[in-house]
Amino acid sequence: MVDELGRMRDFPAAKVVQAASLVKQGKMISLARVRFPGMPLFPGHPPFQVLNYRSPNGITVANAQPWGPVNDVHLGYMAEYLMCTSHSGTHIDALAHMTLGGRWYGGGNEKEYLSDNGPIIGDAAKLPPFFTRGVLIDVAGHRKVCSLPAGEPVSVAEVEQICADEGVVVGPWDTVLFRTGYLSLWPDEAALVAHRGAGPDISVARWMLDRGVVATGSDTESFEVQPAPDKGPEGNPQPVHTALLIENGCYILESVDLEALAAQRIHEFCFVALPLKIQGATGSMVDPVAII
């Protein structure tokens, strides 16, 4: 049987109520930065572009009638193309995003389930809404640095120490977000390159899986530490994505803006993210919020 929901498959309604109970002030904190043409992106992705398609002046000049007659009051409208990957800026990976040997989570494989219009199982059309307890692990704050160095691993020992220091317990159905300080450098491309690749190692992935976490994320484009310090006997360059997304259906968010949460020392909150359901897409841009 194909599983297209991963760890969110049996998400209990009681956990929605519990997450809502964390709201005391009604304050919403955005966890996304503005997307714009030329914005820094993971090197393997196409550039983000906004292209004008219709404008009031263009409609008049062309004497076009896309929706009705040209009129004396100059009523017009504007519309645009977005040319981009679904992994632009703050986003969530669909379960079909990462493959290993041509296979992905839930029984997906290239031969049966990869069409010319993208994967037909585990795609973004199946992404669930997220209304969970969120936990911030502020690694940069713990180390008292602006941003972790390039390729710096975050280990389970450090994560457990941060949780102990902040009095936070990570448990089943949580969304856990890691701050490396990377987005404090945004959008300075040179500064970002100099700090690219910090993140959790495989020990942290296993720790989260043991605790029943349903989703995790960070402020970097690749979430896990790169290059991987422990590729395993197979030489896997992304063991964390493999363990979380491919093998266990634990969702991964990337480029999450955690600067405001860290500045206010907020480590527990109601986390809300509503992915776009796009058939064949391998992820979704999201603008999540932390509500306190």
What number is the average pLDDT over the span 42-68? Answer: 90
pLDDT in tens, 138-162: 999 999 999 999 999 999 999 999 9
Residue 23 identity (one-letter amino acid) = V
pLDDT in tens, 64-97: 888 777 778 878 889 999 999 999 999 999 999 9
What's residue 69's pLDDT?
Answer: 75
- Give whole-number Cα distances, 79 to 50, 99, 141, 203, in Å: 10, 35, 42, 47
What's residue 161's pLDDT?
Answer: 98
Cα dihedral sign, 152-156-157-159: positive
What number is the average pLDDT over the span 239-267? Answer: 98
Question: How sure is the predictor about 288, in pLDDT bands with cuts at 50, 70 and 90?
Answer: very high
Please determine, for residue 99, whether its predicted confidence score (pLDDT) is greater than 90. yes
**Rounded Cα distance, 40 and 187, in Å:** 7
What's residue 248's pLDDT?
Answer: 98
Of all residues in the chain, what percent carry a pLDDT higher than 90? 90
Contact 28, 289 (CB under 8 A): yes
| Threshold 0.85, pTM exceeds | yes
Mapped onto helix, strand or coil, the DSSP state of residue 13 is helix
Please determine, for residue 2, whether its predicted confidence score (pLDDT) is greater than 90. no
Calculate the average pLDDT of the chain: 96
Contact 192, 185 (CB under 8 A): yes
Please determine, for residue 206, whether its predicted confidence score (pLDDT) is greater than 80. yes
What number is the average pLDDT over the span 84-112? Answer: 97
- Give whole-number Cα distances, 162 to 90, 125, 131, 211, in Å: 24, 36, 24, 16
Question: How sure is the predictor about 8, in pLDDT bands with cuts at 50, 70 and 90?
Answer: very high
What's residue 125's pLDDT?
Answer: 98
What number is the average pLDDT over the span 258-287? Answer: 98
What's residue 71's pLDDT?
Answer: 77
What's residue 73's pLDDT?
Answer: 83
Please determine, for residue 271, whether its predicted confidence score (pLDDT) is greater than 90. yes
Q: Residue 176: is it exposed, middle or buried by C-beta count within 10 angstroms (0-12/13-18/19+)?
A: buried
What's residue 66's pLDDT?
Answer: 84
Q: Which structure tokens are listed for 264?
A: 């206010």
Q: 6-35+87-291 architecture in CATH?
A: 3-Layer(bba) Sandwich (3.50)
All structural domains of the chain with their residue ranges: 6-35+87-291, 49-83
Residue 182 identity (one-letter amino acid) = Y
